[in-house]
Amino acid sequence: MSKPVIGIQMQKLPEQFYYRLSYKYTEAIYAAGGIPVMLPLIAEQDYVDHIWPLLDGLILSGCQTDLDPKRYGEAPHAKLGPVNETRDRFDWMLLERAHAEHVPVLGICRGFQTLNVYRGGTLIQDLPSQQPSEIKHSIEEPPEAFAHEVRLAPQTVLNHAAVEKTAQVNSLHHQAVKKLGKGLAPVAWAEDGVIEAFQSEDLAQHHVVGVQWHPERLWQADDFSLSIFKNFIAAVVAHKQG
């Protein structure tokens, strides 16, 4: 049986003249059983129409730009980071196709936030200034280090057990979910109440999962992180088989 093809967008800062993507993403996808395909940020319908039929699943990667707050009806906060309208527009085009065809989606960090806003949610634009906490959500290097604990909801895609559990995660974000998007259920929280993961309420019909941390940085030494990718690939295979 052929392996599922997973599309993942590359990144680009406004002043850069090249695309880039951490190899940690592609290695994690391949280790979990998928074939990664990197997507340049070509926010044109013709490009999406040509590339989309080749993909079986979609991962929205993290990046160093913030989502433009106009996407969720807010003015920019003073601490808002750089934005990339092309990335935002490209993400929306991909998500429109994924939702129309129930193609499985995994959102990571900025991709998690994008999924939330796409479904009508909003963001805290800067956690340190708008919602101060003893939890360090934006740690310094190395990104492979655990930063804090999250509580996992029982009987969810992240925790199949009937009792609540916890997991250690890394943390590289200054924004967070404020209002949860339509059809999303929270499945993990930091100790300060920040939503760290969600899944679609209709998971069996459309597998949509988002995590605020970076499991692609941890999977080689952390079974929990690897399971996030394996569960996603399993959902892609199931969808592909109909």
DSSP 212-226: SS-GGGTTTT-HHHH
Which residues have a Cβ under 8 Å from the Cβ of 118 and sit 6 or more positions away? 91, 92, 95, 181
Check residue 201 and give its pLDDT.
Answer: 98
Tell me, what's the pLDDT at 135? 81
Cβ-based neighbour number of residue 2 at 10 Å = 7
Phi, psi of 113 (to 5 degrees): -65, -40
The structure's pTM equals 0.96
> Looking at the annotation, which residues are catalytic?
109, 214, 216
Strands 184-190 and 195-200, sheet pairing: antiparallel
Q: Please tell me the predicted confidence (pLDDT) of residue 140.
A: 66
Q: Specify the CATH class of 5-241 in words.
A: alpha beta
> Which residues are CB-neighbours of 62 under 8 A, at least 6 positions away?
108, 109, 110, 111, 172, 214
**pLDDT for position 141:** 64
The domain segmentation of the chain, as residue ranges, is 5-241
Only one residue has tokens 């699943």, namely 57
CA distance 200 to 205: 9
Say what the pLDDT of residue 233 is: 98
Q: Over its length of 242 residues, how does the chain's per-residue pLDDT go in tens digits?
A: 799 999 999 998 777 888 999 999 999 999 999 999 999 999 999 999 999 999 999 999 999 899 999 999 999 999 999 999 999 999 999 999 999 999 999 999 999 999 999 999 999 999 999 988 878 777 766 888 888 999 999 999 999 877 889 999 999 899 999 999 999 999 999 999 999 999 999 999 999 999 999 999 999 999 999 999 999 999 999 999 98
Instruction: Measure the CA–CA gap between 61 and 109, rounded to whole angstroms.
Output: 7
